[in-house]
Structure 1
Amino acid sequence: MSNTPTTRVPCPYELGATFSLHISPPQGEPFVAEAKGVYVYSPFTMSSVMKVALTSGSTGTTLPGEAVLKVYDRRFADGIREEYELKPPTYEAEAQYA
């Protein structure tokens, strides 16, 4: 076993985090909306879930003020990690996974 220190991957799904969402509506041109986390539904089970505030930049597209963003990210699926007794994600483990 190596004594090399490991660096835990920080969870990006936190209050105040921002995400660029690339949206392709059924009609009209694709556009980018910004989503900012305003509430985190935790602990995460299979998916990370947040309430987000939406803004659409200068496209003139009308969006709801808030939405729910649900993302499956195996690294932060707390329910699975607990059930299978998996350690928190690290950069070193991610490099081996890739």
Structure 2
Amino acid sequence: MKKLMLLAALGAAAILTACGDDSSSGAAADGCSVTSDDTSVTMTTSALGYTSKTIWKIDGDNVVTTYDPAPEGTEPITVPKGDQTIETLKASAEESCKAWEAAEVK
């Protein structure tokens, strides 16, 4: 459970710090979404014309967290996978989206 909270906290930190200009593809609609595949979960947040992504990727016995765009000086964060699965990572990201959307100023 502590690992889930750590991942959620890291995602929240990314939302607050990793905003980049997405003007090349037009302004994205404000909101938060979660997608996943066999090895990764991506949470995409958009607000005020800026979009950021937090990506959690299962890499062997680890979960690697990256941000796009990455804040200057930020390296990927690697933690032991433990009992994390794509399903638990996706559920954590969806909870982060709910919290983000509830806190978003409209």
Fold conserved (TM > 0.5)?
no
Higher helix share: 2
| Structure ID, larger Rg | 1
